Structure 1
Amino acid sequence: MIMNHILSLLFILLISIIYKSVEENSNKRLFIRSAIPIKNKTWTSYNGAVHLSPDAIFEPTTLEELIDIVNLAIINNKTIRCAGEGHTGSSLSVTKDYLVVVKKLNKVTVQKHSKYGWTATAEAGASFGDLENALRNHDPPLTIDSAPIYDTFRVSGVVAVGSHGARTYSGITSDQLCSMKIVTGSGEVNEFSEEINKLEFNAAKVNLGLLGIMYSLTFRVEPMYNLRLTNIYAPLNWLDNPLNIKKLLESSDSVQLYYWPYNGFDQNEDPNLHDFNKDRIVVKNWLRTNDTATYTKQQIEKIHEDQQHKSIELYKQIYYNFSNPVATSNVAAKFLSSNKNTSVVYQTPDAIHHFVYEENVSKYDLVAFGFKVDPDFSNVAVEFSYAIKSLYEFAKKGKFPVNYIVEIRILKSDEALLSPTFNHDPKALYCFLDFITVTGTPNYEEFCSFLAQRLFDKYKAKIHWGKRYEFIPDVTSYLSEVLSDEIKQFEKVRAKYDPDKIFFDNKSLEDIFNGALKDKK
């Protein structure tokens, strides 16, 4: 009798545990108790270009919650896409089902490593500011070699799309990885590294969110060092000799070229924009140095504060005067160009993030194209000049599509399959031509599409996955062709870790992959 009573209590307890683990809502869909959606049903990217109302939004804080979210998607036959801070300009985060926002996964740990000396492991939602603060405050102080210009970007988002900074020989940020952990389509945690499987690691390093939800990323880091950042204002005809770029890069750590549109234009002297020969470019280069940093921490904070104020004023002057595009065409040059050559020594993170802007106010669209650099750098100079002169051709038609920056970055190649700088030749260099304008600027898509066609035809240029590209005519079929071999290799890895396509919920990627795989035998 007592035994029956005990068995009854155990049965009731078992039912209670099961009920607490799994609940059924009014729509007959199962919910795992630890995978709780947030109350907010909408999500918007940082510049407002992407706005979603998915079935559910999750903001996990632990690995266990990530696993439960994937298991919940399996149970309910749902798909998953991920987001961080929302800086991605393309549709990569778009989903109608489950959106997982990883920004609350932000822990960073630093450890000694037998092979790499030091490594740092960042959870998927850690910002580069979080990572770099942990490294800077470590004993000894450490740094990462490659990072995006803005330290608010989340590590998983930068890795997923193959993003980068301006450091030429550090390559894309993914090239600093030594391992990563991903919750894949089975709900299991899988580790990827070169030692475990080189091909799979090269797929994971630029994975577009197609292998699962990244949980942690371990980067190679090294003792802190200083960089001298030099800005030289040069006339546009400096580009007439491409060897200027090559020689500067050979004597530097990195090179970047800036151009503020129509910066030689003075409306008081000439109301017509037609003489690009008056313009100048900014030639930036970084060089490792033992010299002491020029500014204190407090001085850098003050410089960044001033930069933020300038960026807000610049943005407002352009955004609120779209109806008068001539007046705003060269506002950026007036606000940001000091017209003075400078040479400043920074600690590495400060040299990488040498300019800050107020992203809660200033909203920009970005488009970028990458192509292989000719040995004499002639195509770099030609395409930068052509882009600048094309702005003047558009201006003659009353169109001013770029009102912030046109820039050139040079990056070394890597072997991440879907990277825009993919190449088995370690000596190959790639040029990235970027166009940045205030969100909503008229004729921006027309201008970028015009240049895209030229770069696609001449160089089989690739797009930047994290920036806008889907408006370009026939771009998905073009990418299917130009990325065909890499996609076929990547697909073998993707199919292994997500056979049910839980994470393959993106129309553009589906079209690109289907086009590349249609002839697969």
Structure 2
Amino acid sequence: MALTPKQQNKIVRLITDNNLDIDYSENTEWSNFCKTVNLSDVLVLKVYNLESAQAVIKKIYELNQQKNPEDRITCRVAAGGKDEEDYRSSELLETDNEKYNKSFSLTDLVSADIVINLVLANDVDAIQQVDATTVKIIPGPQIKAFDEILDRTFKLATQNPPSLINRVTPFGLAAVGGHGTDMRNGGYADNIKSITFLLMDGKLKKIDRTTNPEDFDTIVSAHLGLFGIVVEMELECKPAEKLECVQTAMSLPEFIDAVKTGKLPRKEYPMFSVYYAPTYEHDLTNTEIKNIKVMEYRSVPLNSEDRNIDVLARQMEQDLEVEIEEGLKVTDILALFPQLVPAYMKYVVTRFAIGRGQVISVGPAPDIYHYQVSYPWDINDFDCLFPVSDNFQEMIDSFIKVAKETQKAKDKGEAPVTFGAYARVFLNKDYPFSIAPGTHHNKKRFTCGFDVVSSPGAVGFEAFRDKMVHYFIRKFKAKLHWGKYVPLDKGIDYEEMYGDDLIKYRKVVKNWHIQNKLDIRRSPFLTEFPCKVLGLDEYIPAARFQKVQIFSMASSSSETIIDRVAALAKFMSWIEGQEIQDAHTQNLWRRVQDVHDKETNQAYYRTIERLEDYGEIGNRMIDMMSRLKEGQENYWNPYWMNSGTKLKNIIAEFEALPPTVLLDEVLNDKESNLYKAVNQPRISALTFLGAFGINRTKSVQMVEENTFADDSDDDIGYPY
């Protein structure tokens, strides 16, 4: 770690001695929202006013001037850090603010020795109107809160729309060249009329198209935080309007035909977004399954009557989706049992995320546009941006490619995509020089952002992602979203991807430091990741912190194997409890039941095979398990009630033991989990079996209650 304890102490002393408005956490852990970047032993600073930010950044630069350049301290700004007091000061309090108060950047751009959360004002006070079509904003609100305040307080909206995700910040979205969906407008940074950077020496530098006519667009279209910390932006706005949204569910063949025949996108709906949920059921020819949701938007007068908009109901529905995914551990189940993915996608995903038929909604633009309000915590993702022709053939080819590759994956026993693929179309601004992934040097008017999202451990995802990313780059000259997925170990040539744009960008970065009399070699903002990906190798700092990627396959330990059996049972119970019991529901339940039965049998025979190596004591265990197996198969007989549950628990505890365990010692240890499982009761003394039931189950408690060892002094008797 470049930040030594002595230097960290100097920064903390600066904060405490000068009463800076900064909260700090020393030697702590930090992670982004999806936990794709996890940092340990870092200093996290929550900065609440500009003067405090200037003081601490200046101090970091002073410390860096006392070190070798490669040993410099690094720092990056990341979204997050707000507490409920910050939200309560806003008139537009939303629910779950703290839950989603994290950095939504999935790449290593946020990795550093010091992570700074910048909250310079509450949501309302962070925004000021400059003139009829311009507002000034400082770090504070997330994007939807910002849009709501613009809409309700100032009757304005940004000229270029934001991302559909409501929890990113305006500053973060602009920094990575993020975008929304609007074929009349470009990326979010195109709103910027002026931008103010906090330089590494603590000074402020404001630029606009007058001060920097040649390189303004090069800098602001995707500055990546390399020029300083952005502490203020002036944004171009337009009068507020309501939005009409038409959501249409259709099959993939229907969607392809609608685009090819010119029925979609409709010119009168310039804001266009598509979601596709692969079902692995020959989607390219299957017209029965509605697994495409087309969302078309257009502006309507501000006095239009609201229609079909229930923000609370929508949030409750999305919360349910997340609850299903997290509470039932669906991610783990699908990672372990990819054969369940087709039924899950067909029933759960298409039901909740796609819907049926067509729905037309009208309402305030922030509520209509930012329709997604709840999110799963753990995802795999990649987002490729490429130019599209007026007939949108490139977008169609992309969906076809996903359908073909997921079908091939199923044939190999894999299921790489568990959420879906998204396409959003916006204007290709084609700046002379820019590393914004949405700008492309050709005559095609539009850019398509094509985003594929899946869950950690999804079987085959890594190979699928590699293949798809290289396909997009090779066929469409795609660029990768700076905030989603920008790998350094996949053989991607970023010099070739950006060409002269990257050469110009490097020159602008270097000139910026020269013009402002700053030593680029000691820049805390120039961290390892941007140095490597942008070809600034001479400035790469020494590696020092641990990063943990969580997108590995789910564990295959014996304990996890049994846990997944219980998870499958819980999943079946959830399906049985659904109000809608249709063919899809029944098919999903049967599919889960089949996998559950197979997994249970496999675990049983694995255990029997291991017990055969333990001689007489193993044979006694096998005999007991055989009796319980008989009882499991005769579940209708009251005498055998709960045999299956007890058998499952015995197998679970046995498989959790290390291979070299001394079985006789474990079975005579009343505190061991296996002893407790073996002596677990099956039948209550209150049943008609009376004392006989007590003797056979060694307890008067029911099996569904907590297990415990027999209270008697007798040696273990291996009750059935």
Pairwise TM-score range, normalised by the shorter structure = 0.7 to 0.9
1:204 to 2:238 alignment:
no
Equivalent of 2:231 in 212, 215, 222: 215
- Superposed, 1:124-135 pairs within 5 Å as 124-135=139-150
Quickly say closer, same or farther: Cα 1:426–1:456, change in 2 above 3 A: closer
CA contact (8 A) 2:305 2:362 kept: yes
Q: Which residue of 2 aligns with 1:101?
A: 117
Secondary structure of the residue aligned to 1:372 is: strand
Distance 2:415 2:440 in 1: 36
Alpha-carbon shift at residue 92 of structure 1 (Å): 0.5
Alpha-carbon shift at residue 423 of structure 1 (Å): 4.0
Q: Which residue of 2 aligns with 1:142?
A: 156
CA contact (8 A) 1:240 1:381 kept: no
Q: Which runs of 5+ in 2 are unaligned?
A: 65-72, 80-101, 514-518, 540-720
The structure that has the greater radius of gyration is: 2
Alpha-carbon shift at residue 199 of structure 1 (Å): 3.4
Q: Which residue of 1 aligns with 2:74?
A: 79
- Superposed, 1:453-468 pairs within 5 Å as 453-468=470-485
Residues 377-426 of structure 1: CA deviation (Å, up to 9, x unaligned): 22221122111221111111111111112111111123371211224679
What is the one-letter code of the residue matched to 1:387? Answer: V
What is the one-letter code of the residue matched to 1:102? Answer: L
Residues 322-376 of structure 1: CA deviation (Å, up to 9, x unaligned): 312222341322332212211111221112112221x4x5432321101111243
Alpha-carbon shift at residue 295 of structure 1 (Å): 4.8
Residues 26-62 of structure 1: CA deviation (Å, up to 9, x unaligned): 5697433356661252211111121112542211111
Secondary structure of the residue aligned to 1:304 is: helix
CA contact (8 A) 2:194 2:207 kept: yes
Residues 189-230 of structure 1: CA deviation (Å, up to 9, x unaligned): 111222321333211231111111111222222222111111
Greater Cα offset, 276-285 or 207-216: 276-285
Q: Which residue of 1 aligns with 2:532?
A: 511
Equivalent of 1:324 in 323, 333, 337: 337
Residues 244-291 of structure 1: CA deviation (Å, up to 9, x unaligned): 4685243322111110120xx7xxxxxxx4454224422221122233
- Superposed, 1:17-96 pairs within 5 Å as 26=6, 30-31=10-11, 32-33=14-15, 34=18, 38-40=24-26, 41-77=28-64, 78-84=73-79, 85-95=102-112
Equivalent of 2:311 in 280, 300, 306: 300
Q: Given the two structures, how large is their TM-score scaled by the length of structure 2?
A: 0.62
Q: Which residue of 1 aligns with 2:503?
A: 488
Quickly say closer, same or farther: Cα 1:425–1:446, change in 2 above 3 A: closer
CA contact (8 A) 1:253 1:288 kept: no
Greater Cα offset, 494-503 or 206-215: 494-503
- Structure having the larger proportion of residues in helix: 2
Q: Which residue of 2 aligns with 1:226?
A: 242
Q: Which residue of 1 aligns with 2:324?
A: 313
Equivalent of 1:396 in 399, 411, 416: 411
Q: Given the two structures, how large is their TM-score scaled by the length of structure 1?
A: 0.84
Secondary structure of the residue aligned to 1:198 is: coil
CA contact (8 A) 2:226 2:525 kept: yes
Q: Which residue of 2 aligns with 1:437?
A: 454
CA contact (8 A) 2:389 2:445 kept: no
Q: Which residue of 1 aligns with 2:468?
A: 451
Alpha-carbon shift at residue 427 of structure 1 (Å): 6.7
- State percent identity of aligned pairs: 19
CA contact (8 A) 1:108 1:134 kept: no
Distance 1:282 1:205 in 2: 30
1:500 to 2:520 alignment:
yes
CA contact (8 A) 1:112 1:119 kept: yes
Distance 1:391 1:517 in 2: 42
Q: Which runs of 5+ in 1 are unaligned?
A: 1-23, 266-272
Residues 467-516 of structure 1: CA deviation (Å, up to 9, x unaligned): 023166112xx112221311222223322334424144433321232279
> RMSD of the alignment, in Å?
2.7
CA contact (8 A) 1:232 1:284 kept: yes
CA contact (8 A) 1:148 1:165 kept: yes
Equivalent of 1:173 in 188, 194, 202: 188
Distance 2:233 2:261 in 1: 38
What is the one-letter code of the residue matched to 2:381? Answer: L
1:161 to 2:176 alignment:
yes
Q: Which residue of 2 aligns with 1:18?
A: none
